[in-house]
Structure 1
Amino acid sequence: MRSGVAAGILMLLGLWRKGKVLEVIPAKKRKIGDFNEFIDKNMLVELPLVGKKFTWYKPDGFAKSRLDRFLVSMEWLQMWPTSKQYVQQREVSDHCAIVAKSWDKDWDPGPFKTIDAWLLEPGFKDLVKDKWNNYEVQGNRMSKLKDKLKLLKGDIKEWNRSIFGNIEESKRIIMMEIEKLDVKDAECDLL
């Protein structure tokens, strides 16, 4: 496959079988009719949607649409019959992220996150270094890493509340208000 800016952007259309892309359409030749024909030819279907009705909102609020979606093959559905696409909350972008899952419960541990403001706060890096170096954990390397990250996560949460207050709760309340407005707008067009 060609690479570089001069080669143009390629759109890979999602049927993969044994590591092969079935069709590649150069950006200059793309047309919506070609895309629809590709969908029909390969019998792709959209996963059931959970959550919001729209995945894109114009910043001024005058337009919204379902731009983002998962299209899958029948083979996919046979392998993962309970697959659904979940529309996530809109945060920074005008798009809502969507996640495909084939189960209703997500048993994975929550991700380890950092907030940029922490890195600017005097003493944060020293706190992390001191805490990390003083944790006493047992096991193999991966087990030690997992346990230290878990301990560090708890210590950082405590430190964050003492320095910044409960930002997560404030964010949660604001995000709930945005979600209510998005739902209300989907039902009766607020503008």
Structure 2
Amino acid sequence: MTFTNMWRKGYDPSPAADFNNFIYEANLAEYCMNGFKFTRWLDGGNKLNKLDRMLVCERFWGLWPTASLRALPRELSDHCPLILTTTSTDSGHIPFKFFNAWLSKPGLDELVRSTVCAFVFTGPLDLFLAEKLRRIKEAIKSWNKANRRKEGKVLNASIAEIHRLDLICECTNLTESEATSYLEHKKIVSSINDDRLKDRHQKSRIKWAIGGDENSAFFHGYINSRISKSRLNGLLIDGVWCNV
């Protein structure tokens, strides 16, 4: 259902209240509009109004809850045409990020092999491959989550032990076994932090490949501002302005 409110020079709140009551009693819903905030231009853009709306009933909303409402460019008209799209814009599964540091951790190879061997599916080959990759992805995600929890506990325990031995060093020398334990825990902390640093480095490379250098916009804007300040837009010759 599409409607356009009648624009009046003098605003009367009573018709607006009646119409709002009608919307409430009819249990109509409205989609969020994209594209433009306003739908009508007056006086060359000095006055902007959101007059054109689109209301749907509860049954329509239940059939297409993910529909999108968009205001199109108005071009020669003073109103923006509205388009309601009910087609789903699902782009498929969310991409799965595999980190190179996982390859050095024990248990991943056996996990993938056991998941592939236990996989059973009947259907088209494309669906067979998609479901197989999905099972492997879910298994790796569960394995990584459990491994992260385990690493966190080991890291906290090693840090606590190093702190305890540091306090002992302030009072007396460490025994041979305590010194060996100190070096082992330092090695554990260093190894876990190195793996996490590799993950962060890979994440940063992925973000840079997708979004580029974030500072490039600043430098390009600075260069463009210098160019605009140095540009000669015209010359005044014998009292006559000449454009370049």
Task: Quickly name the TM-score band, shorter chain normalised.
Answer: 0.3 to 0.5
More helix by share: 2
Relative CO higher for 1 or 2, CA cutoff 8 Å, sep ≥ 6? 1
Structure of greater Rg:
2
Q: If the length of structure 1 is used for normalisation, what is the TM-score?
A: 0.37
